Amino acid sequence: MTEFELIQKYFAAQPVSRDDVVLGIGDDAAVLAPPAGKHLVVTTDSMIEGVHFTPETEPESLGYRALAVNLSDLAAMGAEPAWFFLNLTLPKIDETWVEAFCRGMFSLAREFNVQLVGGNTTRGSLSITIEAQGLISEGEAIRRAGAKPGDGIYVTGTLGDAALALRHRLGRHSLPVADYDVLKPRLDRPTPRVREGMALRRIASSAIDVSDGLLADLGHIAEASGVGALVVRDHVPLSETYRRHLHEVGWDHALSGGDDYELLFTAPAHAGRDLQRLLTRFGVGISQIGEMVSGDGVTVIDTAGNPYRPATRGHDHFA
Ligand code: ADP
Ligand code: MG
């Protein structure tokens, strides 16, 4: 199979077709028609074998996850996802692999009506880079800067599940099979909180997605906003499964573990009722975990008000 045949068979014939794609895959470049008055929101993320995933990760998960992490970045801006590009470097053409990869990637593309409109295919060690583009009305993008002292700090879903699953996969902690089965999709198939992010426009004062760990990502909000953050450790939402292992694994996977792809945002106190309404609309939990304060940095306390110091604060590729 040639590069051209691969593109034709697996990428050109794909399931989402949007009216705003004037020209998709097959020419030198794509032609897209964003609606008048909308701004483009653009993001990219790479996944490299050995850095972001282990060689035994299933190709279906890789396809899903490569797109999910990009949609999560769009969600954190409040943008509506529209199109994406795929840059794929493969050691060889293995059709079984490509087919499974596409199954994962396109299942998510279908769910959020995003169309693959181009990319690049080369030979080399396995790496996957997606660039995703979304739309937002002028002035409505939710930034990291914007949090004010007194704003509540909120997070969607639960934290630490992906880190716990990864720890099991790396052989550093052994979970019962049934528990690993529950946590594994949280690592391999994170749900980008796209609808929630869009609904938070005009409500949230700042937002970020939790990819490097709660404290690290909250640190980005605090720094960009020029304020501090106070987190009550015991208010950080845990899944039932995590909670059952809390006494052995502690809080740090939830506080500092990455890969959750939940939304972390701040909102002024008067937004409480809107958040309540959001919560019932999407069926995903929203928990308040603390409050922005004047000063700088992120402080964690336990319910008694004593400072709590986690062993690590988050992920940095060059640390
Ligand atoms: P060019 O040499 O002009 O850059 P290519 O031969 O690389 O064109 O690509 C031909 C078409 O196939 C282009 O529309 C390109 O965007 C698309 N394409 C190539 N690789 C991928 C891929 N992995 N996923 C989606 N589209 C792709
Ligand atoms: Mg060309």
Whether residues 297 and 185 share a domain: the answer is yes
Whether residues 129 and 215 share a domain: the answer is no
CA dihedral (308, 311, 315, 318) in degrees, to 10, reads 130
Whether residues 50 and 114 share a domain: the answer is yes
Give me the pLDDT at residue 279, please: 80
Q: How far is the CA of 253 from the centre of ligand 2 (A)?
A: 46
In the chain the first and final C-alpha atoms are separated, in Å, by 41
Q: How far is the CA of 29 from the centre of ligand 2 (A)?
A: 7
* Residue 144 counted as domain residue: no
- Locate 315 and state its tokens: 């992920």
Whether residues 200 and 86 share a domain: the answer is no
Q: Which residues pair with 264 in a beta bridge?
A: 155, 208
Domain termination site, one of 137, 169, 204 = 137
> Which alpha helices (DSSP H) does 189-213 contain, by range?
194-199
Half-sphere exposure (Cβ direction) of 186: Cα atoms closer than 13 Å: 29
* Residue 274 counted as domain residue: yes
Distance separating alpha carbons of residues 287 and 68, to the nearest angstrom: 22
- Measured from the alpha carbon of residue 30, the closest ligand is 1
Whether residues 66 and 127 share a domain: the answer is yes
Q: Ligand 1: which of 121, 128, 133 to mutate, judged by most atoms within 8 Å of the beta carbon?
A: 121
Q: How far is the CA of 26 from the centre of ligand 1 (A)?
A: 6
The residue whose C-alpha atom lies closest to atom 7 belonging to ligand 1 is: 120
* Residue 240 counted as domain residue: yes
Give me the pLDDT at residue 89, please: 97
Q: In this structure, what are the phi and psi dihedrals at residue 174, rounded to the nearest 5 degrees?
A: -100, 120
Amino acid at 62: L
Ligand 1 nearest atom to the CA of residue 88, by list position: 23
CB atoms within 10 A of CB 237: 20
Distance separating alpha carbons of residues 298 and 296, to the nearest angstrom: 7
What's the CATH code of the domain at 116? 3.30.1330.10
Structurally, the chain folds into a number of domains equal to 2
Whether residues 107 and 164 share a domain: the answer is no
Give me the pLDDT at residue 24, please: 95
- Whether 122 is in the pocket of ligand 1, judged by its Cβ within 6 Å, is no
- Locate 50 and state its tokens: 């050995």
Whether residues 189 and 278 share a domain: the answer is yes
Amino acid at 116: L
Whether residues 120 and 243 share a domain: the answer is no
- Locate 130 and state its tokens: 């997606």
Whether residues 127 and 224 share a domain: the answer is no
Whether residues 296 and 159 share a domain: the answer is yes
- Whether 263 is in the pocket of ligand 1, judged by its Cβ within 6 Å, is no
- Whether 23 is in the pocket of ligand 1, judged by its Cβ within 6 Å, is no
Distance separating alpha carbons of residues 29 and 117, to the nearest angstrom: 9
Q: How far is the CA of 105 from the centre of ligand 1 (A)?
A: 17
Ranges assigned E (strand) in the chain: 21-23, 31-32, 38-48, 80-90, 115-123, 127-137, 152-156, 206-209, 228-232, 263-267, 286-293, 298-301
Whether residues 163 and 121 share a domain: the answer is no
- Whether 89 is in the pocket of ligand 1, judged by its Cβ within 6 Å, is no
| Residue 88 structural domain | 3-137
Give me the pLDDT at residue 54, please: 85
- Whether 109 is in the pocket of ligand 1, judged by its Cβ within 6 Å, is no
Amino acid at 9: K
131: exposed, middle or buried (Cβ count in 10 Å: 0-12, 13-18, 19+)? middle
The residue whose C-alpha atom lies closest to atom 11 belonging to ligand 1 is: 26
Distance separating alpha carbons of residues 40 and 278, to the nearest angstrom: 25
The residue whose C-alpha atom lies closest to atom 24 belonging to ligand 1 is: 119
Q: In this structure, what are the phi and psi dihedrals at residue 103, rounded to the nearest 5 degrees?
A: -60, -50
**pLDDT 10s per residue in the chain (319 long)?**
899 999 999 999 888 999 999 999 999 999 999 999 999 999 999 999 999 888 888 999 999 999 999 999 999 999 999 999 999 999 999 999 999 999 999 999 999 999 999 999 999 999 999 999 999 999 999 999 999 999 999 999 999 999 999 999 989 889 999 999 999 999 999 999 999 999 999 999 999 999 999 999 999 999 999 999 999 999 999 999 999 999 999 999 999 998 999 999 999 999 988 898 888 888 899 999 999 999 999 999 999 999 999 887 666 666 5
* Residue 315 counted as domain residue: no
- Whether 98 is in the pocket of ligand 1, judged by its Cβ within 6 Å, is no
